[in-house]
Chain A
């Protein structure tokens, strides 16, 4: 799914490189809070979702060719993180709700194949 479409579906907004979002194709989503796991999960068609919001994220995204990172709780990251993301070409997405809700929304828009047992 196109990133721009995904973001608008979950009610998020794009903070950096919004013009690129219409060309980025997301085929996979991974949510995690440790660097080692997001390194392993990263790919050029993966959207990373995380509780973290520090200024190491843009460099990691550039290193692993991750097109976009989704931050949660509606919290806009610090200006250093924003600047680094601009410089390194990383699309930063902000979701207005918490991690659980964000993942839930993404899942419904993206996959939705899981049905809870009756």
Chain B
């Protein structure tokens, strides 16, 4: 190569090693190639000025972001942009967006940015957002989380402080029981949920089982096992590890008349004997093939199982707010009462807000946010647009409006009321801890996969619970 950049276009007589040339170019070293060097010196001096200019330019570009301030929220005092985050399925998204549209039409200066997605990961995201101060203005919060949030600070505005919202439609005791923590109304319930038993009507008919059967723990297995025995494609009961746990809890609470899994003083409310009995019942469900095999349930945790979509599942026991998902999958689902042991005093049937709406404590537009929430619950058009996407409306007014418009799903309502009638004690805050949840889900899976015995599982549960509870104690 004879044409060389560092010499500015002059030809070199011989090919110097690269290292030598770099030293000369940067270090201005004196060597024996004097004539070339003279030219190089002059050239390099010029280059240094250029270099310095470039360096300054680079620094300036770095510094620019410091000068750029974020766009101010409101150009004029009236224009408001708020964020609203929730989780759900498609139908719920559409209904909620419809309500937002209505509000934006009525209030042209207000823009509501919708942030929505699925259930998976919502909690982790919300916690991170609250910690980082980036949460939305209006937030959908699952009721069990309110307790643990309130333990660590006040992250939501006290809705009792605002005149802009009409709370008369809500049952005051209901609010007090589920949404008031630290003497503040942290959030408003968006719907009334109960644990219900959803049944695929067509499959029940096929198997000759009446839909109004009064279920208890014995016939649940006796009748249940016949489903798979008659038609191997079908199973009576489908549940993932979380739902299995709730089933076993009801079983234990009804049999032994215990109110709380975790007592308020962070001790375990159940004895080892009770827990082992619960695991034994699980083994029964597995061995009689009353329940869908665990390996299948595990694959589809939270997602749709094709067997379910094809109508080959007899029943799921879970939240009434999920029944809509069945209906959207074109399954004719009937809602009934969960298994109850005859004569049980404590039923363990959980009734609580399906989810709640709270206003971020750090929101600039808390008044506007409260107004929107008021619109959501009390405006007739909003109620009609939303329907029962978050289960039974929590306000008397809401239920009336839907009933008048014939939009109230009477079957679902009847189902919820049937279980409301046998409602048990609500779980307390500590029972909802996420790490405890992971512990029992893990052990249920191990028992269902039959890698450990119920006895071993009981021991492991108690041990691991104790460790976690020790951490939780203040």
Q: Do A and B bind each other?
A: no
A-to-B contact residues, CB < 8 Å: none
B-to-A contact residues, CB < 8 Å: none
